Amino acid sequence: MKAIIWKEFRENLKWGVLLLLGSAYGIITLQALELDQVVLFNSEYLIFATFCFPAGALALGLLQTVFEGSRDRWAYLVHRGISPERILAAKAIAGLTYLLIATALPLIGMTWWCSRPGNVAAPWHPIAPLAGVTAIFAALPAWFAGVLIGLRDVRWYGSRILPAGLGLLPMMAVLMFGQFWVVPQMLWTIPLSLAVTAVYAVAAVGVVRHRGAYAPQPVITRWCLALTTACGALILMCVLVTMTYEGLRELSSDLRRNRLMSYYFVTEEGRLLHFERKPATNSIVTVTDPATGESIPHPANSEPHGQIGFWLAPEQVQLRPRESGQFPEAFVRTREISAAGASVWYYLSEQGVFAGYNRGTRKRALTIGPDGWTEP
């Protein structure tokens, strides 16, 4: 077995060095961009570690196994008198060693550098490396997923790739809890990653033991392999649904791009104005006073001045004309304004104010006018 381990270390040294250089380059570049912050606390490093570490582990596992089928190299290894399980163990020893060195060494170096006084103009806390540590544990299942994809002897490439979906579970957990630095939940991602790794390891043992023989596998192996495949199919379906939804929403947005977006705004003087804007260029086309129908000159790309008032959607405003043709009343239905104690709003053109009344007490609750927001 020592010869197999040495073979794996020798053949995959270049991939381990490449992974180490990529990990070191990423963490050093992120720290250089923000010298006044500890990069280990930043979400940018969390995203980098959560995605790049498992991606590198998956690639390393694939590179250690995908070429074993060429020129029947796997049959040569098996016929040397060593069991398939020990061959897999030798690959795991070499691959996981390179993975841990490539990810942990830059993390340890950056931890030491940031903890030295005077290097970073930011406070230091010993818990800073936790995000990187959880990302390293989340990369362990990805290595076994790469081995499982590379060694499975199946006809459909889709069924070979599907088991990689379960490895996304610890990645999503690390990303979700690490964004807000919820320390107890971040610590729970470590046993979650180890549990997923165990499932992958059992499935990989069954695959290497019966590779090419199409012999019945143990029950636990079949269940672990089925679990990884089912989770991969579920995640793939979720990704396809999300991409379809986003594509349809983008298409709908493109179809509405040439339409004018209409809304109302109440100024600090209590004046109700109607705006029309082009969504494509975000420029204001027309500004009118619904009480008089007067067109008001306004810069095309500037917001209305005096934003003491509030924005109103067209469906929130219902104008009622008088005999004179003006629009003295505007009923507004919006939760934000109702929370202020006013459920019905009127635009009082004679007073030049926008008054809110409580429908229950029939008394004025709030007024927007030249003096801003006032209460009775």
Task: For 123-137, write each residue's pLDDT tens digit.
Answer: 888 999 999 999 999
Residue 368 has φ and ψ, to the nearest 5°, of -115, 115
**Rounded-to-integer distance, Cα 155 and Cα 145, Å:** 18
Please give the pLDDT value at position 294.
76
Split at pLDDT 50, 70, 90, the class of 199 is very high
The mean pLDDT value for 301-309 works out to: 48
Quick one: tokens of 175? 């990303």
pLDDT above 50 (res 324): no
Amino acid (one-letter) located at 58: L
Split at pLDDT 50, 70, 90, the class of 365 is low
Please give the pLDDT value at position 339.
41
The residue ranking higher by pLDDT, 99 or 225, is 99
Report the percentage of the chain scoring pLDDT > 90.
33
- In whole numbers, what is the pLDDT of the chain averaged over residues? 78
Entry pTM? 0.65
Our measurement of the distance from residue 155's CA atom to the centroid of its chain's CA atoms, rounded to an integer in Å, reads 34
Split at pLDDT 50, 70, 90, the class of 73 is confident
pLDDT above 80 (res 228): yes
Split at pLDDT 50, 70, 90, the class of 236 is confident
**Rounded-to-integer distance, Cα 169 and Cα 147, Å:** 18
Report the percentage of the chain scoring pLDDT > 70.
67
Split at pLDDT 50, 70, 90, the class of 215 is low
How many distinct helices (H) and strands (E) make up the chain?
11, 11
Split at pLDDT 50, 70, 90, the class of 308 is very low
Strand partners, 344: 357
Quick one: tokens of 173? 């957990």
Please give the pLDDT value at position 146.
92
Please give the pLDDT value at position 327.
41
pLDDT above 60 (res 192): yes
Distances (CA, A) of 356 to 66, 254, 311: 71, 38, 15
